[in-house]
Structure 1
Amino acid sequence: MAETLPLLLRAARGEQVERPPVWMMRQAGRYMKVYRDLRDLHPGFRERSENPELSYEISMQPFHAFKPDGVILFSDILTPLPGIGVNFDIVESKGPLIEPAIRTDSQVKNLKTLYPEKSLPYIGEVLTRLRQSVGDQATVLGFVGAPWTLAAYMVEGKSSKNYAIIKAMAFQEPDLLHRLLEHLSDSIATYVCYQIEHGAQVVQLFDSWAGQLSPVDYDLFAAPYQKRVVNKVKAKYPNTPLILYISGSAGLVERMSKTGVDIISLDWTVDMAEGCARLPAHLGVQGNVDPGILFGSPEAIKSRIVDVVKKAKGRSHVLNLGHGILPGTPEDNARIFFETGKNVNELIHAKTTIS
């Protein structure tokens, strides 16, 4: 049975595979002309992400173009927030906006219980269609925002450079923040299970802003709630691999490994060999090519991919960027990324033979 499962799923489960599977964070999006054309017709981000027809179409665009080993749901980490009573908008060039921001005890007490089947039916519909469409040709990936990052958006009310408002809450009203994080943890765990039940085979947790925390504060305000999500999901779906990604995580790698996830996604600020050495042998790794290299020459892109894959040898490895693909990246260079990933064993063998 195992040989019929898609490559990325087998790798994520720690099985021996013929090559590292390859996908790309934010692989559906602005760098693709077909996406920009669709965006011109449907300018609202939430229109695109919450309309099941559009979300499905956008999710499939990279698969049609590049045949990656993973097809990820086109959505946003803030998508479940209206289901708990927090509305948001995403403004082009400005990012997410939440008004009013969540900063008081009464606001936290008034947060609703998340029922994804009622508030997020389109997510289930899209995941089911993706699974039907790609079959065993690719793994369907779901994703969620982790509690600290969602709390940061909710408390700040928007993106932030210094996270002064939520850090003020953490240091002045820690009990309030912990209650918010508890509510978010339970909501996110429910949402992950919902995604799995509708077709997600692997789920990635984005705690994008946890890298803004000192190690001691990560241990207080991020790690326990990452673990709470993981424990609740694993209690129900122990065989579904979970990936944890944190931007700017070089100082947190060992801590990330203790959260119960199956794969640690390393950003490009960590050397892959050093990252692997800092992680227990049973954990898989994902990453960690600098997205900026995709503005380079084909030779530079290929060389960097070969370097990363060689350094991850002996470890379950999912080839990916160290962050999302950047707007303006040439589509041909994205194609080179995927093609190189799929042929990386031959490239390594050829390089070894020549040298």
Structure 2
Amino acid sequence: MTPPKPAIPDHRFLRALRREPVDMTPIWIMRQAGRYLPEYRATRERAGSFLALAQTPELACEVTLQPLARFALDAAILFSDILTIPDAMGLGLHFVDGEGPKLAHPLRRAADIARLGVPDPESDLRYVMDAVRLVRRELNERAPLIGFSGSPWTLACYMIEGEGSSSFSRAKALALEDAATMHRLLDTLAQSVSSYLAAQAAAGAQALMVFDTWGGLLAPAQFREFSLRWLADIVARLKANPATRDVPLILFSKGANSHLEALADTGCNALGVDWTIDIGEARARVGNRVALQGNLDPAVLAASPDAIRAEARKVLDGFGAHPGHVFNLGHGITPDIKPENVAVLVDAVHALSRHPV
């Protein structure tokens, strides 16, 4: 007789995303594998470049696991980049020190957009899938693994601009002047993101997240048309797919707090919220429709341990004694933060929120 497979732990992070009771509030940190860790910097130097690090599954696995070796984090997030899809589409991703990501072939004409196809995750993005499989195996159920993608609007911003920007005026101009062409691009990207996330789930990711980093740059009507519409499309695709229907999905639209109710109505499982809104207000507005993830100001981690503990308590108290909270920063951790301050935060969140289930 074949022995039964060991049960997979029901991690508190996944329970919180399902808005179920937990013994303590789970915590992970955006960009938790990054430049604030000396071991990350050493691995990055060994890789030779950020892109080589991200595209080598063994090294991506190594840095994904580094923060979990230091801190009692409740989830791992795959070390990758949101611009993997544009790169797989042939736009030529590279990084310039001190300047960030660049695309060698930005979209400048409608014909450039018309030529784009949906990448095959298992061929065009095989290195990501191999990294997911490797991380999941190495985690050995110590913590669940989060897979992620950029949102269609955010990816479109970079693809049109060709680099980072404070305004992404080229993308905004295309949306205003030729909405049909912009929607053609966003539709292709929504298909690509959905396929990419489904493939990560098939490879072993136990939760999925969409980073709508630049949604907050849009005026309300533009946000609904060019960001929210396509986030909802992705949610619908993933929830209609039997393979991803039960995989928790987190949407994080930075700077879009005025749209929380509409984001909750997409059918996602959780919303990330930045630090510019009180988390109690956010919860009051979305009710029990979704879990919330957030939302400590990343700058708090530069303060004293006592201040970090006090601010963590404020976030926990602000959310209140309700199920469905994942503690996180309101955006990514910055490179100047001392690792010992992260340990203070993680330990404080667990200690301050511990209670019997």
Contact 2:264/2:289 (<8 A) preserved: no
Matching of residues 6-85 of structure 1 within 5 Å: 6-85=11-90
2:230 aligned with 1:222: no
1:102 match:
107
Of 171, 174, 183, the match for 1:169: 174
Of 302, 309, 322, the match for 1:302: 309
Of 314, 330, 333, the match for 2:341: 333
Q: How far did residue 89 of structure 1 move?
A: 1.0
Contact 1:289/1:320 (<8 A) preserved: yes
Q: How many residues align?
A: 348
Q: Aligned AA for 2:55?
A: E
2:292 match:
285
Q: How far did residue 2 of structure 1 move?
A: 8.8
Q: How far did residue 85 of structure 1 move?
A: 2.5
Q: Aligned AA for 2:331?
A: H
Q: Aligned AA for 2:329?
A: L
2:268 match:
261
RMSD of the TM alignment (CA)? 1.6
Q: How far did residue 73 of structure 1 move?
A: 0.3
Q: Distance in 2 between matches of 1:337 and 1:3?
A: 28
Moved more, 322-331 or 74-83: 74-83
Q: Which ranges in structure 2 are unaligned for 5 or more consecutive residues?
A: 1-5
Q: Distance in 2 between matches of 1:315 and 1:216?
A: 32
Q: Distance in 2 between matches of 1:3 and 1:125?
A: 21
Matching of residues 182-331 of structure 1 within 5 Å: 182-236=187-241, 237-313=244-320, 314-331=322-339
Q: TM-score, normalised by structure 2?
A: 0.94
Q: Distance in 2 between matches of 1:213 and 1:247?
A: 11
Q: Aligned AA for 2:175?
A: A
2:185 match:
180
Contact 2:26/2:326 (<8 A) preserved: yes
Q: Which ranges in structure 1 are unaligned for 5 or more consecutive residues?
A: 350-355
* Runs of 4+ deviating beyond 6 Å: none
Q: Aligned AA for 1:20?
A: T
Helix, strand or coil for the counterpart of 1:278? Answer: helix
Q: Distance in 2 between matches of 1:220 and 1:154?
A: 19
Helix, strand or coil for the counterpart of 1:186? Answer: helix
Aligned-residue sequence identity (percent) comes to 35
Q: Distance in 2 between matches of 1:48 and 1:288?
A: 29
Q: How far did residue 134 of structure 1 move?
A: 2.0
Helix, strand or coil for the counterpart of 2:309? Answer: helix
Q: Distance in 1 between matches of 2:89 and 2:18?
A: 32
Q: TM-score, normalised by structure 1?
A: 0.94
